[in-house]
Every structure is written in C-alpha cells, then in structure tokens.
Structure 1
Amino acid sequence: MSGGLSLSHHVIIQALLSRGPLKEKDLHSMFEDLTKKSPGTERRLFDAFILAMNKALTCANFELRGCIDQYDGQVYYGIVNTVSDEQSKLGTKYTVPQIAFYKAIIEAIVQDATANGFISSIDALNLNLDSQVTIVTGSESQEESQRVPYALKNFGLSQKEKTLSELVRDLWLDSTTDGNVRLGVKSFLDLRSWFLSNDVPSCHVCNEAGIKAELCPNQNCIVRIHSYCLKQLFSQRKAAKVCPSCGTSWPFTVPKAEFLQAEDDNEPRQSQRASRSKGKKQRANTIVEDEEVGCSNQDELNEHIESQRDSGQARKRNRPHRTNEADRVGLDASQSSSAVSDLRRVTRKSSRLS
C-alpha cells in the first residue's frame, strides 16, 4: 500500500484515519503546508496527489472519497470501506441492535416526503425496530421467520439514547440545538450506493440523493433540488426562476455576491466584510447603545449624538483608506461567489474516484 507514496501522502492518510472526515479547506491547508503548493493554482498536482493515495488505498479495499454535506454545503473528504461482506462487518464496534437502530433512523429520514432531512430525537427514540428483522423464507414456518430476535426486543430506551450519542460522536449522525437528528458526514460518504439502491429521490441538478432539498412548488411535480444547487442554477440573472421539469414558477431571491460565500469560521474576511448598510445599522443602533449606558434625559442624549457626529466627521478624513479596504472586501466577495460553482466541480471529480 505504501508503494509510490511520499511522506506527505502518509501524513494526510493518517490524519483522515485518526481525525475522520476533513473539510476541503482543511485538506487544502494540509496539502499546502506539506508540499508548499497551493491547490487553487496547482489543481492538477492536487488531483494527482489524491489519485495516488486512492490507488494505494484500493489494495486494502479503502477509498478516499469526497462528498457535500447537504445541510451546510461544505465539501468533505474521508476514507471509506468499499467492502460490506460478513468479514468486514466484524470490524465494527456496533452491535446488531445498534446497527438496526441506525438503519431505522436513516430510513425514517430519507423516506420523508418533505425532504427536510431530519427526524426529531423523540421520534428517533420511539422507532420500532421490528421492521429491521430480515424475514427468512425456506423451511422455517412464517411464524418462526417473523419472530423478533431477543436482542432487538430488549433494546430499550436507555440503550437507544446511548447509541444515539455514540452515532453523533462518531459523525454517523448529527444532532441540532432544537432537538432534531440528521445525517452525519460519514453517512453522506458511506451510503452513496445505498441511496441509489434504495431509490432515494435524487437532486434534479447533481443527481446525488436529495436528503435535504427544496421541493418544486407544484405538488404534482416530484423535482427536488439541493439549496446550493438551486442557488447555482438561479445565480444567473437571465435564468428563468422556474422548475426545470414542469416550468412552474419557483420563488427564489438571488443573493448578493457577498452572501454566496459558504460559512467559514476561519476566514478573516467574513468578519471584516464592510458595507454601507452595515454602517447605517451601526448608526441606527447608536441610540440603543446610548440608552444602555444610562442616557436618562434629553440633554445627555444630545451630548452623545453630538459626540457621535464629531467622531463621524473624523472618520470622513480617513475615508480613502476605508474605501480601499472596502474594495478589497468586494474583491473577496466576488471571488467567493465563484467558490459556489467550484462545489459542483469538486463533487464531480470526487465522484469519479468512487
């Protein structure tokens, strides 16, 4: 497996195995630190780097795969097992009832006709696992074949709660602050073939499973599109905002360029983004801030307003510097709008690996 791989390859493989799936930006950062090359300008080098690792991982029935988290639109990379025989199942730490519980949650989420992509934690804990019993046909009687195994029958609420916590910790599931359960990154990486074989409705744009998607306003139309695919589809101002299948008008507001960038906690320009509307909001909030510091009468309020006016005049003298900074922020915003289209390109290249 190590033939033809450099130390940089081994470092990234070890990181993916020990830390789990990585965001694309984190993988790019590691690649740049190790090779001193930028994935943005050296795309062919980065693709060859990934293919070299995949070629070596194939010998052990593993694969470096990419996917998009349908809830946040972020691209992730992770190493998955490509074999699902009985021997490989022995390597899992989950018991048969825990796997049945996980499967029941997945089925409840993907079978939701509204494509909300989640199930409430209460509904998850109350799922009946009897449907996960494989009905054996043959010499056994029907009564014996439909008998619920003892392990499933005695899989109680406390065991379900513990299993749910473990599945969330291991990134197979994800829990939200409002008490819902949704698919984790590992599920998007590992269950691609399962989605296809179980006829999970796909996105009309990218053909990936539409777990979390927008539905066509026409109730008689079955089209569903991921939010990030919908944004890409309608991003062109000349594009008709209609369903690509039935032609029904699809309410959609094209966001401004600065809001097309995916959420990135580590990007400094996210917090440095400046606009006139933001400045207006800051000035509008001046009175609220004055009230919080104890301006209880009109004279004190006028003093604060006058002070704010003086500081505003001082800021006008520095306007050329602020304009240049705003221009730089505007450039970053336009560049980030193209990153949305790159999501599809990365996914298509990642799909070739699978």
Structure 2
Amino acid sequence: MAPLPWCQRHHTLLQALLSRGPLAEPDFHAVFAAASDRDPATHQQLFSDTLLKINKDLAYLQFELRACINQYDGMVYYGVVNNIADEESKLGTKYSVPQIAFYKGLLEAIVQEAGNDGSITSIDALNVRLDNQVIIVDGSQDSQSRLPTSVTNFSLTQKEKTLDELIRDRWLSYTSTGKIGLGTRSFLDLRSWFRGNDIPSCMVCNEACIKASSCPNDECNVRIHEYCQRKKFSQRKASRGCPGCGTEWPRQDGEAGGDDYVNEPGEDEAPSANHSSRKRRKQVKAELVEENNKAGPSTAVPRSRTLRSTKAEAVEAAQQASSAGASQATRTSKRRKK
C-alpha cells in the first residue's frame, strides 16, 4: 500500500483520539506506527515534529493534542483537549447545570483530600453539596443570590447516575482501592485549572500533585508523585534525602532496594515483545482501515490498496517464516556434525 499523505496521517491520528478517547502511550504509538509506517521509539524526532505540526493546525480552534500522566497508574496518555480554561467549557453541553456543579464539587473534594491519596469514598462523593458551586444573581437591587431549582432538587439517584456517566466518560475513575478519583480526561484538560487554584506541585516534574507522597517531616511541604519518586531514587547510590529539608524519604511498598534494572526485560524476552508489537501494529492497521471506511470517501483507504497490502504482508510473512526455518535447519545440522 502506498504511504498516506502526511495531511491524511494527521487526520487519522486525530480521528483515532476523538473516536476512542484518550489513548495510553503504547496504543497511540501503535496508531502512529500504523499510519506512518514509522516506529515512534526509533523515529522520535519525526514523532515530535508530527505532533507539533498537528498542534499548529489545532491552535486556531483552541484545541491541542496533549500528553499527560495518569497519577494513579503512572501511565502516559494522549488526547485532544479544549484549551479554554473553565471546566464548564471542558465538559461541553452534554451535562446539565446541576451535573456540572456536582462535578465541580467532586473535583474540589478530591484535590483537597487531606491524605494526598487523590481519592474519596463513594459515600463521600454522593454527599458532596452543590449549593456552593452554582450561584446566579437575579439582577435585583439587593443583588440577592438564588440557586436554580434543578440544583436544589438534585436527588441522590441523579447523583449516582451522574457519577456513573462521569466515570464512563473518563472525567472520573475508580482507583485500585475502589475509591473515586480523577479520570484521564481531567488530568489532560484541567492542567491550567490545577495551576490557577494553587494545587501543590511535584518537586520533580512540577505538575500538580493529586496523588503523591509527602515528606515525612511534618514541617516540610514537599510532595513527590510516586512514579517521580521511583525515578528520582532509582539509582543505587542516589541520595534519598528530601529535596526540601534533607529528611530521608521512606521507600514505597514493594520498592526494590536500589536495583536499576528491576523492570528491564531479559534478552530472552525481546523476541516475544517484538512479536507482540508487530501483532498489535497489524491489529491497529486493520482497525484504522475499518474506521476510515466508515468515515467516508474523504478518509477511506482504496480497497485495491488494502488488498495489495494484505498480499504483500502475506508474502513477507512467508519469506520470514522460510528464512527462519532455513536458519533453524542450519543450526540443527551444525549441532549434529559436532
């Protein structure tokens, strides 16, 4: 199949993010590789230049293709975000006024959670008050404020339904402990809101600390994300002193004792990883072709090209299998001679 023009590759990347929502880094890299026939791991400059070009085109619409780290699992995610700062614009018109007020109350409760865990229980979530989130001035001379009836009458059942919707749309999430935390879309879209509301920042990456560890010294305000902590203290001889006060930073549960290569795959694992990567790339290619066909003629890949691509991949796979078989036979013959 002839390579897609770069403008169509950009469109394919955006279409994948908009239709599927935020994608984890391995999935987004697989989409990029399928659209460009280039692996981002070995073509990092091309990958960066492509995102820069896409963002230049999106700037006119006040949108941005952005990456963030989900602070609950430490994974990098990519998504298209609205650069308008207020959360009402972020949530769009899908949610009603009381639903947006409920989300704002949940957001404040999560970021102000005293234990730096970045999560609240389901009971606490349902008990969030809305009356201090929406105030409408009626314009009378005494400027008295009143709440809309839809807010004052927002029932527990409506809260439960809204909570499910916010989790499904990835504005919120269930944490590994079963509590309610922020979702990937909140981490992507609300970066400016975090900064504007004086949320404490991580000493290592300078991003807002929603879920983080605090310095054991009660008089020190330093906070560090758990994944930043692993990175900072991963070296065998690295000092574990707090960057602010020098107090020794405690190890996390299950943290290795200074082994730099705990998560490094062994040599015997590499072929399996490469096989998995190739399999994932072929799967993503098939999904992109299907999505382009559904999107219409402007983005569809011609059927003849798809058939030629399938045939070429089959030939290539057969050649690789034949080559591998010959190589194995040669090694077997040599061992027998010995």
Q: Fold conserved (TM > 0.5)?
A: yes
1:222 and 2:221 correspond: yes
- AA of the residue aligned to 1:94: Y
> Could you say if the C-alpha distance between residues 99 and 62 of structure 1 is closer, same or farther in structure 2, counting changes exceeding 3 Å?
same
The CA distance in 2 between the partners of 1:100 and 1:330, in whole Å, is: 49
Q: Secondary structure at the match of 1:186?
A: helix
Q: What is the CA-CA distance between 1:7 and the residue it aligns to?
A: 1.4
Name the residue aligned to 1:83: 84
Q: What is the CA-CA distance between 1:113 and the residue it aligns to?
A: 2.5
Give matches, 1:241-320, under 5 Å: 241-252=240-251, 253-254=255-256, 256-257=259-260, 259-260=262-263
The CA distance in 1 between the partners of 2:12 and 2:200, in whole Å, is: 38
The percentage of counterpart residues that share the same residue type is 55
Name the residue aligned to 1:29: 30
Name the residue aligned to 1:158: 157
1:240 and 2:239 correspond: yes
Aligned positions, number: 265
Q: What is the CA-CA distance between 1:250 and the residue it aligns to?
A: 1.2
Q: What is the CA-CA distance between 1:239 and the residue it aligns to?
A: 1.4
Contact kept? 1:114, 1:215, Cα under 8 Å: no
Contact kept? 2:102, 2:159, Cα under 8 Å: yes
The CA distance in 1 between the partners of 2:44 and 2:64, in whole Å, is: 20
Contact kept? 2:85, 2:190, Cα under 8 Å: no
Contact kept? 2:119, 2:175, Cα under 8 Å: no
Q: What is the CA-CA distance between 1:41 and the residue it aligns to?
A: 1.3
Name the residue aligned to 2:48: 47
- AA of the residue aligned to 1:216: C
The CA distance in 2 between the partners of 1:79 and 1:63, in whole Å, is: 6
Q: In angstroms, what is the RMSD of aligned CA positions?
A: 2.7
1:328 and 2:328 correspond: no
- What are structure 1's unaligned runs of at least 5 residues? 262-268, 270-325, 334-354
- AA of the residue aligned to 2:198: D
User: Normalising by the residue count of structure 2, what TM-score does the alignment of the two structures yield?
Assistant: 0.72
The CA distance in 1 between the partners of 2:241 and 2:228, in whole Å, is: 14
The CA distance in 1 between the partners of 2:142 and 2:203, in whole Å, is: 45
1:149 and 2:148 correspond: yes
The CA distance in 1 between the partners of 2:187 and 2:209, in whole Å, is: 11
The CA distance in 2 between the partners of 1:90 and 1:185, in whole Å, is: 13
Q: What is the CA-CA distance between 1:178 and the residue it aligns to?
A: 4.6
Name the residue aligned to 2:202: 203
The CA distance in 1 between the partners of 2:226 and 2:20, in whole Å, is: 28
Name the residue aligned to 1:213: 212
> Could you say if the C-alpha distance between residues 86 and 195 of structure 1 is closer, same or farther in structure 2, counting changes exceeding 3 Å?
closer
- AA of the residue aligned to 2:100: I
Name the residue aligned to 1:64: 65
The CA distance in 2 between the partners of 1:207 and 1:227, in whole Å, is: 13
Q: What is the CA-CA distance between 1:166 and the residue it aligns to?
A: 0.3
Q: What is the CA-CA distance between 1:135 and the residue it aligns to?
A: 7.0
Q: What is the CA-CA distance between 1:59 and the residue it aligns to?
A: 1.8
Contact kept? 1:62, 1:81, Cα under 8 Å: yes
Name the residue aligned to 1:8: 9
Contact kept? 1:70, 1:211, Cα under 8 Å: yes
Q: Secondary structure at the match of 1:131?
A: coil
- What are structure 2's unaligned runs of at least 5 residues? 274-338
Name the residue aligned to 1:319: none
The CA distance in 2 between the partners of 1:181 and 1:86, in whole Å, is: 19
